[in-house]
A and B are shown apart, each in its own frame.
Chain A
Amino acid sequence: MQSWLPFMPESASTIAPKVDALYFYLSGVTLFFTFLIAGVLTFFVIKYRRRTPFEIPRPVAGSHKLETIWSVIPFLIAMSIFAWGAQVYFEQVRPAANTNEIYVVGKQWMWKLQHSTGQREINELHVPVGRKIKLIMTSEDVIHSFYVPAFRIKSDVLPGRYLSIWFEATKPGTYHLFCAEYCGMNHSGMIGSVIVMEPTEFDNWLSGNANQQAPAVAGQQLYESLGCVSCHGAKGEGGRGPALAGLFGRTVFLNNGQTLVADESYVRESIENPQAKLVNGFGPIMPTFQGQVTPDQLIQIMAFIKSLQTPNAQPTAPAAPGATGSAVPGTNSAPSPTQNIR
């Protein structure tokens, strides 16, 4: 897992070389100042060592000029690091266009991943080289953190919120996936691997595992069985409830005059606590679904809503053979709020 440079980790994403370049710059600055200070210190300590026990050196007055110089120069260097770091960071966090979405659910102590085509994986993630992958992540219980050192990406995974990161792998191989936020007893066992494959190989892998239900399809079944359909319409066209087609990324006007851009966290809140943010023009008539839908099911419902991009569009995901309306694979019952309290 090491690169040709000593003490450097494998570099396997488009962002990794940019982070490394910044790291080299920082290391250079650090070594320069450490050796400068250590060198001057050593020189002074030897040159001005005490020669007779009772000697007293002449005092030296301070110098505003020197103080200014050694405040301003480090400040300028610090600002150069700050600006460069912020620029690369924006690239790291700004969602790229045309990404393949993969859903990630962390729980004590495993990673559950699902491709938008339905393939489920546990503690393993297969991705192709050269395609942008966006991970949409949430947790079922405590805070975790999704960390792939070879990609130089990390993001905490929070219960009740959806954070996303993206990457584009550049080199086939098997890389570590770690949980980086302490999450309890088996924290160090919450590890897995990211397997980067050539695109053709990946497509083969994907079709070899195609007998699973796509999240959007499972979401549609939930959408119907939970009764969303009666107010939001079969195709999300709206009715007594606001329209859902094309919701993600759209600006929503709330009845308190505020606006927001709809994202996963907003949709989840509206399902679990519908009165929190009412859309302008709609009354508080929706019941709460808190405790009735698991994080996995929430993701499926969202995948379905995302598939409703225009009011007349059909869900694009292929129907999986053998799927039944109520059987959603891999779901767990949501932890009840009073569980685990001591």
Chain B
Amino acid sequence: MRAIETFQAPAPAKLNYLNAEYGIKSWLLTKDHKRIGLLYLGSVTFFFFLGGVYAMLIRLELLTPQGDLLSSTTYNKVFTQHGIMMIFFFLIPAIPASLGNFLVPMMIGAKDLAFPRINLLSWYIFIVGGLITIYALLAGGVDTGWTFYPPYSTTSSNSYVVATGVGIFISGFSSILTGLNFIVTVHTMRAPGMTWFRLPLFIWSHYATALIMILGTPVVAITILLLAFERLTNVGIFNPATGGDPVLFQHLFWFYSHPAVYIMILPGMGIISELIANFSRKNIFGYSFVAFSSLAIAVFGFLVWGHHMFVSGQSVYAGMVFSFLSFAVAIPSAVKVFNWTATLYKGSISYDTPMLYALGFIGLFTIGGMTGLFLATLAVDVHVHDTYFIVAHFHYIMVGGTLLAYLGGLHYWWPKISGRMYPEGWGRFSALVVFVGFNLTFLPQFVAGYLGMPRRYHAYPPEFQVFNVLSSAGASILGFGLLIPLIYLVWSMRYGRRAEPNPWHLPGLEWRTPSPPPTENFLATPIVTWEAYEFAPPEETEVVGVLRSDKNLEDADRPIDGEP
């Protein structure tokens, strides 16, 4: 093995994006993608902990089978608001709008995003949407479930459906603008030499995400608008009493909301590709397969919405087609998992906090993905649809997947973002606590779900209590594990050890500039002459295959397994 040469990075500059300007105005009127990324980071963290408070209320209520802590109306509002906060105001924007905003220009060697003003506008739109939604929650809340199914939401619910809908409608535009910005930036602003196939996989996954944001979000915007229109004017769109069709709403809603799952998970997959390659100092195994699997997921993700409606009165044959396509969309995700695992082969694997999160992600995402197959299977879905099985499944994807990736990415780029190191010991400890707490929370829910416990139940038959107690115990561990990083990351901004420009010794462009970077990102326009994740020169490449004859001649003298 060769020894690493420290990849060249300039000495820390006196002026960086954090201290170039001071004052609240310099933040609220900034056009710097890094500062806007931080604005998003702060906002989504706030929404996340708000959603977390609701989660804790849910778990407290479900400790006992009787509905004794909250009234049923309050409980219904609590789970609805947990879903709305977490999905629309944390999971969808979390990675792309904070880390993506910060890193997309840096990783392709650009000075900023293509449209810096639109970027700032997108944050304001997001905040306006968020504030309107919070107003709706404070004024009286909403109790329709985050799915807003009519005719309940349009005729029966006595809560702030329209105000919440307006909040979500508005925040959707921030998503569209961010997506637009990413696509134009990746197309037009790559540094000299940064060809498409030298792009880090983080960029590929954000590109695919941006496509979904632009194509999918308008559909949910229209759907919410129609819903509000029916509620306000009683024109029959979804309500059968006035000639509407409630299943039409479900089609429209899931046409966006299923791809939205990929808006949430694809950026996470991008982070994991970075972490796995960089913390094992290896080129990613099958780069082009991983890159194209992101695009395949983005395309096929639009064709599977009907698997949310196997018991909704959809045609049996439509159900079959959607079931088939849902199995097909699982394959690109499986390819990614296998490639990540293969990347570790003969690597130099470190156990730093981001890598612990990445390894946790692969395990939990595998379980989340495999249990997705249960739901794609028509006959099994009939039984487990709308039970805790489904709740457990999507939390494995959303929390075990997206949240873990987000935390891994946050730790990984924290030195670049803040210019400080986080405390490594605390980082590893909290990663472990989160992993244990997460599994204790959601594994029992698979069992409760197959036993038949329906979701969105305020009170439940006593035989399900043991699983709910386990789940609530796990949730408190998980909540504790998530508070630790909040504390030490904030602490490290002032007291953390100063970070070198390239603390992990990596070849990526974002590490070839000071920490924190100057406002213009790079002191000189970088020229890219290397492939993504190129730690060692390509002529040293080893060929792995099922057949020994695949091996290069120069490798013939080396045993394929065992230390070189």
Establish whether residues A57 and B380, one from each chain, have CB atoms under 8 Å apart when the complex forms: no
| Stretch from B33-41, B214-222, B367-375, B408-416 contacting the other chain | B367-375
Residue B2 lies at the interface, judged by CB distance under 8 Å to chain A: yes
| Stretch from B97-105, B128-136, B446-454 contacting the other chain | B446-454
Establish whether residues A187 and B382, one from each chain, have CB atoms under 8 Å apart when the complex forms: no
Those of A38-84 within 8 Å (CB) of chain B: 38, 40-41, 44-45, 48-52, 54-63, 65-67, 69-71, 74-75, 78-79, 81-82, 84
A38 contacts across to B, CB distance below 8 A: 363, 366
B523 contacts across to A, CB distance below 8 A: none
Residue A141 lies at the interface, judged by CB distance under 8 Å to chain B: yes
| Stretch from B115-123, B346-354, B429-437 contacting the other chain | B346-354
Those of B204-252 within 8 Å (CB) of chain A: 231, 234, 239-243, 246-247
Establish whether residues B345 and A56, one from each chain, have CB atoms under 8 Å apart when the complex forms: no
| Stretch from B47-55, B279-287, B474-482 contacting the other chain | B279-287
Residue A245 lies at the interface, judged by CB distance under 8 Å to chain B: no
Closest chain-A Cβ to B437's Cβ sits at a distance in Å of 19
Closest chain-B Cβ to A271's Cβ sits at a distance in Å of 14
Establish whether residues B231 and A341, one from each chain, have CB atoms under 8 Å apart when the complex forms: yes
Establish whether residues A187 and B363, one from each chain, have CB atoms under 8 Å apart when the complex forms: no
| Stretch from A120-128, A154-162, A201-209, A230-238 contacting the other chain | A154-162
Closest chain-A Cβ to B411's Cβ sits at a distance in Å of 17
| Stretch from A16-24, A254-262, A299-307, A311-319 contacting the other chain | A16-24
Instruction: Knowing A19-B379, A63-B286, say if A56 contacts B386 (CB, 8 Å).
Output: no
Q: How distant is the Cα of A188 from the Cα of B461 in the complex, in angstroms?
A: 10
A56 contacts across to B, CB distance below 8 A: 1-4, 281, 348, 535-536
Count of residues in B whose CB is under 8 Å from the partner chain: 112
Establish whether residues B157 and A184, one from each chain, have CB atoms under 8 Å apart when the complex forms: yes
Residue A229 lies at the interface, judged by CB distance under 8 Å to chain B: no
Establish whether residues B452 and A182, one from each chain, have CB atoms under 8 Å apart when the complex forms: no
Establish whether residues B459 and A44, one from each chain, have CB atoms under 8 Å apart when the complex forms: no
Those of A117-172 within 8 Å (CB) of chain B: 141-143, 145, 147, 149-150, 152-156, 158-161, 163
Establish whether residues B282 and A23, one from each chain, have CB atoms under 8 Å apart when the complex forms: no
Question: Which among B155, B345, B454 has the highest number of chain A CB atoms within 10 Å?
Answer: B454
| Stretch from B263-271, B327-335, B490-498 contacting the other chain | B327-335
Establish whether residues A153 and B76, one from each chain, have CB atoms under 8 Å apart when the complex forms: no
Q: Which residue of B lies closest to A138 (CB)?
A: B240
Picked from A9, A154, A337, the residue with its CB within 8 Å of the CB of B385 is: A154
Residue B29 lies at the interface, judged by CB distance under 8 Å to chain A: no
Residue A197 lies at the interface, judged by CB distance under 8 Å to chain B: no
Closest chain-A Cβ to B414's Cβ sits at a distance in Å of 20
Residue B188 lies at the interface, judged by CB distance under 8 Å to chain A: no
Picked from A59, A66, A108, A142, the residue with its CB within 8 Å of the CB of B545 is: A66
Q: How distant is the Cα of A74 from the Cα of B377 in the complex, in angstroms?
A: 15
A176 contacts across to B, CB distance below 8 A: 452, 461
Closest chain-A Cβ to B43's Cβ sits at a distance in Å of 29
Q: How distant is the Cα of A183 from the Cα of B381 in the complex, in angstroms?
A: 20
Those of A1-38 within 8 Å (CB) of chain B: 1-2, 7-9, 18-19, 22-23, 26, 29-30, 33-34, 37-38
Picked from B1, B145, B288, B334, the residue with its CB within 8 Å of the CB of A74 is: B334
Instruction: Knowing A37-B341, A66-B545, A89-B319, say if A186 contacts B313 (CB, 8 Å).
Output: no
Q: How distant is the Cα of A191 from the Cα of B72 in the complex, in angstroms?
A: 15
Residue B463 lies at the interface, judged by CB distance under 8 Å to chain A: yes
Establish whether residues A41 and B377, one from each chain, have CB atoms under 8 Å apart when the complex forms: no
Q: Which residue of B lies closest to A109 (CB)?
A: B72
Residue A200 lies at the interface, judged by CB distance under 8 Å to chain B: no
B426 contacts across to A, CB distance below 8 A: none
Closest chain-B Cβ to A119's Cβ sits at a distance in Å of 26
Closest chain-B Cβ to A26's Cβ sits at a distance in Å of 5
Establish whether residues A61 and B543, one from each chain, have CB atoms under 8 Å apart when the complex forms: yes
Those of B454-511 within 8 Å (CB) of chain A: 454-461, 463, 505
Residue A226 lies at the interface, judged by CB distance under 8 Å to chain B: no
Establish whether residues A48 and B344, one from each chain, have CB atoms under 8 Å apart when the complex forms: yes
Instruction: Knowing A34-B367, A48-B345, A147-B454, say if A54 contacts B4 (CB, 8 Å).
Output: yes
Residue B152 lies at the interface, judged by CB distance under 8 Å to chain A: yes
Closest chain-B Cβ to A1's Cβ sits at a distance in Å of 6
B338 contacts across to A, CB distance below 8 A: 66, 70
Q: How distant is the Cα of A63 from the Cα of B289 in the complex, in angstroms?
A: 10
Establish whether residues A59 and B382, one from each chain, have CB atoms under 8 Å apart when the complex forms: no
Picked from A30, A62, A69, A337, the residue with its CB within 8 Å of the CB of B546 is: A69
Establish whether residues A149 and B386, one from each chain, have CB atoms under 8 Å apart when the complex forms: no
B345 contacts across to A, CB distance below 8 A: 44, 48, 60
Q: How distant is the Cα of A120 from the Cα of B337 in the complex, in angstroms?
A: 55
Establish whether residues A49 and B349, one from each chain, have CB atoms under 8 Å apart when the complex forms: yes
Residue A97 lies at the interface, judged by CB distance under 8 Å to chain B: no
Q: Mark B271-311, 1 if CB is under 8 A from A, else 0.
A: 00000000011110111110000000000000000000011
Closest chain-B Cβ to A57's Cβ sits at a distance in Å of 5
B367 contacts across to A, CB distance below 8 A: 30, 34
Establish whether residues B334 and A70, one from each chain, have CB atoms under 8 Å apart when the complex forms: yes
Establish whether residues B330 and A78, one from each chain, have CB atoms under 8 Å apart when the complex forms: yes
Question: Which among A8, A62, A79, A160 has the highest number of chain B CB atoms within 10 Å?
Answer: A62
Instruction: Knowing A19-B380, A57-B281, A63-B545, say if A75 contacts B1 (CB, 8 Å).
Output: no
Picked from B324, B330, B363, B451, the residue with its CB within 8 Å of the CB of A149 is: B451
Closest chain-A Cβ to B455's Cβ sits at a distance in Å of 8
Establish whether residues B311 and A335, one from each chain, have CB atoms under 8 Å apart when the complex forms: no
Closest chain-A Cβ to B66's Cβ sits at a distance in Å of 11
Picked from B243, B246, B316, the residue with its CB within 8 Å of the CB of A90 is: B316
Instruction: Knowing A44-B344, A187-B458, say if A147 contacts B72 (CB, 8 Å).
Output: no
Closest chain-A Cβ to B442's Cβ sits at a distance in Å of 14
Closest chain-A Cβ to B405's Cβ sits at a distance in Å of 16
Closest chain-A Cβ to B161's Cβ sits at a distance in Å of 9
Residue B521 lies at the interface, judged by CB distance under 8 Å to chain A: no
Closest chain-B Cβ to A72's Cβ sits at a distance in Å of 9
B337 contacts across to A, CB distance below 8 A: 37
Q: How distant is the Cα of A273 from the Cα of B244 in the complex, in angstroms?
A: 13
**Between-chain CB contacts (< 8 Å), 7 pairs:** A57-B535, A86-B378, A147-B386, A152-B383, A156-B311, A187-B72, A341-B234
- The 7 A-B pairs at the shortest CB distance, nearest first, are namely A149-B452, A160-B240, A85-B377, A89-B378, A88-B379, A188-B457, A62-B286
Interface, chain A (partner B; CB < 8 A): 1-2, 7-9, 18-19, 22-23, 26, 29-30, 33-34, 37-38, 40-41, 44-45, 48-52, 54-63, 65-67, 69-71, 74-75, 78-79, 81-82, 84-93, 108, 141-143, 145, 147, 149-150, 152-156, 158-161, 163, 176, 178-189, 191, 273, 335, 337-342
Interface, chain B (partner A; CB < 8 A): 1-4, 67, 72-73, 76, 143-145, 149, 151-152, 155-158, 231, 234, 239-243, 246-247, 280-283, 285-289, 310-313, 316, 319-320, 323-324, 327-328, 330-331, 334-335, 337-339, 341-342, 344-351, 359, 362-363, 366-367, 370-371, 373-374, 376-383, 385-387, 447, 450-452, 454-461, 463, 505, 534-536, 538, 540-547, 550, 564
Name 11 extra pairs, CB < 8 A, besides A48-B348, A59-B535.
A7-B447, A33-B366, A41-B341, A57-B348, A59-B283, A66-B544, A78-B331, A149-B452, A155-B382, A159-B246, A163-B313
